[in-house]
Structure 1
Amino acid sequence: MPLILLLGAGAARAHDADIIYTQVRRTDPGSAEVRVRLTLTGSTLSLLVPTDAEGDGAVSQADLEARRPALEVGIWDALPLTAGGQPCTRQAHVAKRVESYVELTATFQCPPGPLRQTYTVLSVLPANYRVVLGSYGGEGGQLFADAVRPSLDIPERGGSARSTFAPGFVGWVQLGMKHIFEGIDHLAFLIALLLVGGSLKRVLGMVTAFTVAHSLTLGATALGFILLDTARTRWVEAAIAVSIIYVAAENLLLREHRHRALLTFLFGLVHGFGFASVLSAYGLGEQVASGLFGFNLGVELGQAVIVTALLPLMRLIQRRPRVNLWTVRALSSVILCAGAWWLYSRIG
């Protein structure tokens, strides 16, 4: 894996949220008033409307108030809502800063009929972005929209949860897999571990330790037992870089790695906070449990695919000691340099 690709991929924050979470409902069954709620990160908002005065992704309430007309044009005009095929009329909208995300709410007047919203806002965001439509009150599951399929029919309140759970669950699994495949720092960490993984039993022990550890911190954070604000998230990102540097350095300096399972567990706790920063930035509210389960399963499946693909290759290389020695040295050096660059960029 070329060093330039590792460095380029790590230039920004490794776990920027790339979804917009939304909820849509009529205030009462049959009512003409419809409320729409969006939650998104400050960095996502800044891609749509220049609200971040300092350019660090930390949008303040003052920034939101100063850009109120821009929010109306840049976001709400790009989220047309219809009922029974007829357009709804926007009455008011509010923006506020909440912990690690920004919450935007708007009230619409709509004619009778099924609600449908089109997220044309996706056309101006990177191709990997999705909109997740969640239900109010924890009912049902979620539906996903992307740039290819930007419109969603809004399920009525009190409808069957089964109608939305399956696609929502699959969507969260896909999102978890995407984050492990695109999380170049997590991939670098896994590769560094596998380079001197040893026997199959030891590899399975490390993978299990990593899985259990990051599941603990991911769950605890996503369920609200541990809070990650902007400053803490930044330190988590730096700690992930440190974990990569440490493991790569061990590969270069030590001959024996008997403590790797414990080390992997400890660093897995840190990486779990990195995964959690993705979910916590979405403002999922009551929907966090179902999103957590699917997302974590996707992470595990993605990790299993990576280990399954790399392990036979590592075994083949280990049969030739000289080739194995140079492979470990070369890849560990690349990973060490990448980790050092990520650490510099995340604390700078």
Structure 2
Amino acid sequence: MAVTRVPPRISLRLCIESSLKPGAGKERLGAVLRSRRVILPRRGHMRLGWSVLFALGLLLGLTGTVAGHEIPPSVMVLAFVKPEGQRLRMLLRVPLESMRDVDFPLRGPGYLDIPRAEPLMREAAHVWLAGYLSLYEGDSRLSDGRIVATHVSLPADRSFVSYDSAFAHVTSARLDARTEIFWKQALLDVLIEYPIVSAASRFSIDPALARLGVRTTTVLRFLPPNASERAFEYIGDPGLVRLDPRWHQAALRFVSLGVEHILNGIDHLLFVFCLVIPFRRLRPLVAIVTSFTVAHCLTLIASALGYAPSGLWFPPLIEVLIAISIVYMALENIVGPRLERRWAIAFGFGLVHGFGFSFALRESLQFAGSHLVTSLLAFNVGVEIGQIFVLLLAIPALMLLFRYVVAERMGTIILSALVAHTAWHWMTDRAGALRQYHFSWPAFDAVLAANVMRAMMFLLIAVGLGWVLSAGVRRLAGAGAVSEDWGRGASRT
């Protein structure tokens, strides 16, 4: 075991750190003790004694303050952003306990000493809030914000329901010094101002406030001049949020989301993989993938516009149907697919997968600004880019596999059986989750009649698109040619 001599100066620093920041000094000292055998110099014994006494005295002197505390499990941040004239104001409300490593003075059994805590609140707001906020006017980052006011609020305070009431509350007189509020229940309200060129500019924000808690939820409301309020709600750090995006900015964001979703959605990838296992020629692939694309684009847009059922049972039902689609497609590969069936089945199941895409997209539509349709189409483009990328990898891999490793018919059966096995487990698990929901038939009223009419219109549109696709499929590739290719592949086995 290695031996390390620790100078008294270091031991003193570790003692002080362990008293000021519980856990920090202990971790560093513990790492040394675990890795090495520590021997203090003889002449340092007296200094070590003074160090320990100093640390104990410091601890005794801190009995009237809040020691450094753990990360809160859940934090809710309320925020307003409003440009006015030559300045941009940002109002924030956070739990006081999220301001970690700040020793707020207390009195009695743990009540916040408000007058003595005020200077520390301004410093905490600068370190934990203003220091992690980046705001942009156009493409230019704004200079560091100035903390104009801080205010301690009771947990029952409702002033942050609107910007005007929140601003009036933050800039009002502080709570009475005799107010008894337990420090963990207190709320910290902060007003920050940034200099800007014009209130009519387009603004963006990169809020890195996830560090405030284990799970940090932010509700941000932007109040542009001469326009309606826009609300955002997100968990963690969303990255750069354009509060009033241009159409091309929204499109780029949603193209990226589409690519990310298809590459992270293993169930959608397995379905696409099953589609192309037996059909690797270009013309059949174009027919199949196009029908799947048109179908999921249709239901994705319909769901985003509010034409999907709103019951809690609907998303679990779609998840079950997605698993069923993979099982069915894999089993058809084993039995023997035909193009005249494959494109139609891909179209039908594409309608189901479109609803699945919409569930993942629902929380992101708030970042579309006023460009909803553009963002939906851009998301579909991103999904197609992801699918093409997967196909470019899968098709050559399948060709090499069937040429050098296993015969095409046997390889198709093996791969499809593995996919079917995986999807079968998904189907049973998701069906179990679906059974936990209670389904009740809706009342027969005008609302139901309107929903039925919407559904019929949607079905008519889907049938019309299917008819158009059927004509295109017949021109792209004849079913007989594909069947011959499949038969030759089967005979080679």
TM-score tier (shorter): 0.5 to 0.7
Q: Distance in 2 between matches of 1:93 and 1:23?
A: 8
Question: Equivalent residue for 1:242?
Answer: 324
Q: CA deviation at 1:293?
A: 2.6
Q: Who is 1:254 aligned against?
A: 336
Q: Write the distance in 2 (CA, Å) between the matches of 1:191 and 1:300.
A: 14
Among 283, 298, 320, the alignment partner of 2:382 is 298
| Deviation by residue 1:170-228 (Cα, 9 ceiling, x = unmatched) | 22211110110110001100111111125421111000000100000011111223244
Unaligned runs of 5+ in 1: 1-21, 38-76, 95-105
- Aligned partners of 1:299, 1:134: CA distance in 2, in Å? 30
Select the residue among 339, 345, 358 that pairs with 1:276: 358
Alpha-carbon offset, residue 300 of structure 1: 1.0
Cross-structure match for 1:347: 431
SS at match of 2:317: helix
Pick 1 or 2: higher relative contact order, CA cutoff 8 A, min separation 6: 1
Name the aligned partner's letter for residue 378 of structure 2.
G
Match of 2:313 among 219, 231, 239: 231
Q: Give the structure 2 partner of residue 328 of structure 1.
A: 412
- Root-mean-square deviation (Å): 4.5
| Aligned partners of 2:295 and 2:350 also within 8 Å | yes
Do the aligned partners of 1:194 and 1:314 also contact (CA within 8 Å) in 2? Answer: no
Secondary structure of the equivalent of 1:111?
A: strand
Q: TM-score, normalised by structure 1?
A: 0.61
1:79, 1:222 → 2: CA distance?
34
1:190 and 2:272 aligned: yes
User: Which residues of 2 match residues 196-211 of structure 1 at below 5 A?
Assistant: 196-197=278-279, 199-211=281-293
2:145 matched residue in structure 1: 85
Separation in 1 of the partners of 2:265 and 2:292?
15
Q: 1:259-289 deviations in whole A, cap 9, x for unaligned?
A: 0000000000000000001122346275533
- Of 230-239 and 278-287, deviating more is 278-287
Retained in 2: the 8 A contact 1:169–1:290? yes
Are the aligned partners of 2:323 and 2:424 in contact in 1 as well (CA < 8 Å)?
Answer: yes
Distance 1:234 1:300 in 2: 24
**Alignment of structure 1 residues 53-202 onto 2, 5 Å:** 85-87=145-147, 89=150, 92-93=159-160, 109-111=191-193, 113-114=195-196, 118-121=207-210, 162=246, 165-197=247-279, 199-202=281-284
Residues 294 and 246 of structure 1: is their aligned pair in 2 closer, same or farther, counting only changes over 3 Å?
same
Instruction: Call closer, same or farther: CA 1:226–1:151 in 2, change over 3 Å.
Output: closer
Q: 1:110 to 1:255 in 2, by over 3 A?
A: closer
**Aligned 8 A contact 2:270 2:326 in 1:** yes
Looking at structure 2, the residues matched to 328 and 132 of structure 1 have their Cα atoms a distance apart, in angstroms, of 51
Describe the shift of the 1:233–1:311 C-alpha distance in structure 2 as closer, same or farther (beyond 3 A).
Answer: same
Using the alignment, how far apart are the partners of 2:262 and 2:285 within structure 1? 18
Residues 323-332 or 109-118, more deviating: 109-118
Output the CA distance in 2 between the equivalents of 1:125 and 1:184. Answer: 27
The one-letter amino acid of 1:332's match is S
Distance 1:327 1:342 in 2: 23
| Equivalent residue runs for 1:207-226 within 5 Å | 207-226=289-308
Separation in 1 of the partners of 2:259 and 2:351? 19
Partner of 2:81, secondary structure, is: strand
Q: Among residues 15, 20, 26, which one is paired with 2:82 in the alignment? A: 26
Kindly state the Cα deviation for residue 244 of structure 1 after the two structures are TM-superposed: 0.4
Q: Distance in 2 between matches of 1:299 and 1:335?
A: 21
Following TM superposition, the consecutive aligned residue runs of length 4 or more in structure 1 with deviations greater than 4 angstroms are: 27-37, 77-84, 88-94, 114-117, 122-126, 131-140, 144-147, 149-152, 316-322
CA drift of 1:34 comes to 4.8
CA distance in 1, matches of 2:298, 2:326: 20
Which secondary structure state, in structure 2, belongs to the residue aligned with residue 268 of structure 1?
A: helix
| Counterpart Cα distance in 2 of 1:151 and 1:28 | 22
CA distance in 1: counterparts of 2:361 and 2:213, whole angstroms: 22
Do the aligned partners of residues 282 and 200 (structure 1) sit closer, same or farther apart at CA in structure 2, a change above 3 Å counting? Answer: closer
TM superposition score normalised by structure 2 = 0.45
1:254 offset after TM fit, Å?
3.1
Is the CA contact 1:27–1:35 (under 8 Å) kept in the aligned structure 2?
A: no
Judging changes above 3 Å, is the alpha-carbon distance between structure 1 residues 132 and 289 closer, same or farther for their aligned structure 2 residues?
farther
CA distance in 1, matches of 2:395, 2:324: 24
Check conservation: 1:138, 1:286, Cα contact below 8 A: no
Give the C-alpha shift of residue 27 in structure 1.
Answer: 7.7
Q: Take 2:377 and 2:79, find their aligned partners in 1: how far apart are those partners?
A: 20
Between Structure 1 and Structure 2, how many residues are aligned?
A: 265
Q: Compare CA radii of gyration and give the structure with the larger one.
A: 2
